[in-house]
Amino acid sequence: MKNSNILFEAKNGIGFIRLNRPEKRNALSYPMIESMYKQLLEWKNDDNVAMVLLEGEGDKALCSGGDVVHLREKRYSNIDEYAFGFFYTEYCMNMLIFTYPKPIMSYMTGFVMGGGVGICVGTSHRIVTEKTKWAMPEMNIGLYPDVGGSYFMNKMPGQIGRYLALTSKPVKPADVLYIGAADYYIDTSSWKELRQAIVDKRWTLDRAGERLNELISQYSKELPMVSPLAGLEEKINYHFGFDTMEEIVDSLRQAAEKGDEWADDVVKTIFTKSPTSLKVTLKQLGEGKKKTMKECFKMELEMSMNFMHYDDFFEGVRAVLVDKDRNPKWNPPTLEEVKQEVVDSFFNYIWEDGKNPLEDFQI
């Protein structure tokens, strides 16, 4: 049965993927993830498809993230089985995109967040526009930056990955380019013409990536503004270079008391997040530095399964996505009350056969 929330077409050597859920800012549902993963696998070995073009319906979002409300709805109804299917399929798809043997072009206009970042960050040709709003906002719902965040956020300059993970701050196109999460900037007014130029070509496996790069370069331009994150990098590196959340917060507080408005805003933002999620995420990023991409996703699968038995996640989904009161009640409510053994427990999940299922994923 076809899923009308995601559309596929192949012509002229191009595989088209269009997320078709504009009323939800093209959020990824479980069936959409299953369909996209299956289609990418089929096109991977199809010599008639030389490249893939990923876009979202409407002008508000490529993809605003994974649709996690359904996980809350399944909380008391076999959550482990359902959550495993969702996260396992999503992470397999993410890894497939990172290792895809053919060019994938992602048109990242509008909201590109969470699961939306996950389907774009590993693509080979990533385009941002003046409307791009990029974020890893999982901390807002008491979760952690998954979909490979352990891997790609560690590759950002300095401590910027930590800063974006722990604060969930959204960034605009100049910053997305600076952190290495995009390759080209174009104006939205140029997209229709560029897309038509791509459609009009007959694509073959020979030099497809090189030819695509040449074509996009005809429409891309230099941004007139510098990255705000670049200007803040020295501060970010200083405050977010500590080993514990308490030290990071204390450093920001001291700067705020001396009149640093940026530090004051950041520390206030951090205090709105789940203390447990903050500490788990800091450990996640530290562990990710030592791991390969596949090892990062294996770790995240275990973390995600453990988060399904964590009250703060369901409370965060309620506060942000269901009731939308933006007033979550975290438990425990302070960093000092989060025990290290609780943090450590998120990194060990007991599988029935003793083996992480992603171990068998072939890269």
Catalytic residues: 66, 115, 138, 146
3-state secondary structure 201-238: CCCCCCCHHHHHHHHHHCCCCCCCCCCHHHHHHHHHHH
Helix (H) or strand (E) holding 299, with range, is helix 293-307
| Cα–Cα distance, 297 to 145 (Å, whole number) | 11
Helix (H, G, I), strand (E, B) or coil at 92: helix
What residues pair up with 106 in beta bridges, in sequence order? 54, 126
Q: How many CB atoms lie within 10 A of CB 35?
A: 19
Q: Which residues contact 350 (CB under 8 A, 6 or more apart)?
A: none
Helix (H, G, I), strand (E, B) or coil at 181: coil
CA dihedral 315, 287, 354, 86 (to 10 degrees): 40
